Chains A and B, each alone.
Chain A
Amino acid sequence: MADPHELPLEELRQRIRAAGITIPENRLAMVRKLLGDALAPVRALDSRTIRTIEPAVKFVAEPKEGGDRE
């Protein structure tokens, strides 16, 4: 049975072209497996249902000592 995480080889080649990098042929299988494993959780995700708890910048409102106060 095919590995559901497997990244299609053609898609890998498209990504390599789009990124403008070169991966030697003898390393394609390794990169394909690595990227396929890394992408698996994201591909299993329904982006509409996951909790909307994005990383967010937190600001401290107090000015630094000597900063603008006017």
Chain B
Amino acid sequence: MSDEIFYATIRELGTRYRKREISPVEVTRALLARIEKLDPLLHAFVTLTADRALEDARTAEAALRRGDENPLLGIPVAHKDIYLTRGIRTTGGSALFAEWVPDSDSTVVRRWQEAGTVLLGKLITHEFAFGLQFPGHKFPAARNPWNLDHIPGGSSSGSGAALAAGLVAGATGSDTGGSIRGPAAFCGIAGIKPTYGRSSRAGVMTLSWTLDHTGPMARTVEDCAFLLQAMAGHDPADPASSTVPVGDYLAPLRRGTSGLTIGVPRNYFFEGVDAEIQRAFEEAMDTLRKLGAEVRDVRIPSLRGAMSFLLILMAEAYAYHERDLRERPELYGDVLRERLLAGALVSASEYTQAQRIRSEICAETAEVLRDVDLLATPTTPKPATPFTLAHDPEFAFPRSNMAPFNLTGLPTLALPCGFSSTGLPLSMQLSGRPFEETTVLRVGHAYEKATAWHTRRPPV
């Protein structure tokens, strides 16, 4: 089997399955062999479920023979290890849950399973979706396939690394301050954080209740659309889940960008951005203009308070972890423990003021989105961070271009828009109005069709 199959899109795999050119079992076997070869370098997987994958693949083959048309039939996926999986250990990337085996699936896991996906395993996450694994941790940190000396981003680090290395065709991520979009940016893939309430968080370990989102990661925007279609929708088990009907994410992808107006917020998002990223972003805007979109500058002044997200995250994360931090602090990773404890130092008044700032950002962003259909911004100010820097305990929590969209809950897609001179991927974000994932995906898909960044492969 040629290597190209490892980077096949969901549509290509489905077409080839239905033409009987290849089978889900053959693809699964090939991927398991590739994982065995490459994962000792990448550390993307924390648990491999080979038997389960082959069983899923055989089930998918039977369904394909019956003529089942579900587009995710036989598609090889893996889940970030904060998604609970029945009968499969779910570690949260932490020694606290190193051997925990849940007795139920998270809603998203169940929905992908019902869609006929093949589960290859569980992907490493930064510990509790917050703390990078330092040397000596129970689980090693995932490495970036584009350069093993750099982090793949986090917290969905294993998801980003596995997709970039061609180990899976789709993966789940979660995003509290950029944990889907950051790894997507650093690994040269796509990832969408849907609108808050669009995709269920039930059965997914919490980091920060009011900021947490679940969403898909994949190598193309269309693949994200396929995966989101199968995970979106109301879930009574998630108190924040929305009852807004789910649209068709696939069909509108072909509509292109004509008639759409894209706003570029020139304040906040460009402070400290590398020249290479700025240049790649401006070129991407030129491409979108050529594709028929109107691109113009906008301003959201209240974003000066965007780092209030960190205060909200710290306070909520401490509330979630308080008991374990008091009773078994030694099981938390180095540095993460103190990061979480810092949440105990936030006063009730400060937390409330941070939520007021958030409300102002939400209101002002909504006002801007009356005049434009989308916002476009660089996803990160810099390309992937080297481990030597990330492993410095004094390395500051970076100022985030992604967090404003956790505060506002708006649907936001990250996709590749270039490469640095050192060969690391660069990325832009597209954000839309609440529940307008379709528009975000549509513009991302049009851009992707007009460029070739997503077709580059890392040197693993």
Closest to A14 in B: B345
A28 to chain B, nearest CB (A): 9
Selected from B335, B353, B396, the residue in CB contact (under 8 A) with A42 is B353
B-chain residues with CB within 8 Å of residue A31 when the two chains form the complex: 338-339, 341-342, 345
Q: For the complex, what is the distance from the CA of A47 to the CA of B314, rounded to whole Å?
A: 21
Q: Are A54 and B359 in contact (CB under 8 A)?
A: yes
Q: A27-B338, A30-B394, A31-B341 are in contact. Are A55 and B359 (CB under 8 A)?
A: yes
Q: Are A50 and B338 in contact (CB under 8 A)?
A: no
B236 to chain A, nearest CB (A): 12
In the complex, the number of residue pairs spanning A and B with C-beta atoms less than 8 Å apart equals 96
B304, B350, B352, B394: most-surrounded residue (chain A CB, <10 A): B350
Selected from A27, A34, A44, A55, the residue in CB contact (under 8 A) with B305 is A44
With an 8 Å Cβ cutoff, the count of chain A residues facing the other chain is: 30
Dominant secondary structure at the B interface:
helix
Q: For the complex, what is the distance from the CA of A66 to the CA of B43, rounded to whole Å?
A: 52
A-chain residues with CB within 8 Å of residue B354 when the two chains form the complex: 41-42
Selected from A15, A24, A40, A53, the residue in CB contact (under 8 A) with B307 is A40
Q: Are A37 and B305 in contact (CB under 8 A)?
A: no
B290 contacts A by Cβ under 8 Å: no
Interface code A51-69, partner B: CB below 8 Å = 1, 0 otherwise? 1111100000000000000
Q: Are A41 and B306 in contact (CB under 8 A)?
A: yes
A9 contacts B by Cβ under 8 Å: no
Closest to B358 in A: A55
Mark B residues whose CB is within 8 Å of A. Answer: 304-308, 310-311, 314, 325, 335, 338-339, 341-342, 344-346, 350, 352-357, 359-360, 363, 393-394, 396-397
Known A30-B338, A30-B394, A35-B345; further 17 A-B contacts with Cβ < 8 A: A19-B344, A23-B338, A24-B338, A30-B393, A34-B314, A34-B339, A37-B397, A38-B307, A39-B311, A41-B305, A42-B311, A44-B304, A44-B305, A50-B356, A51-B360, A53-B359, A54-B359
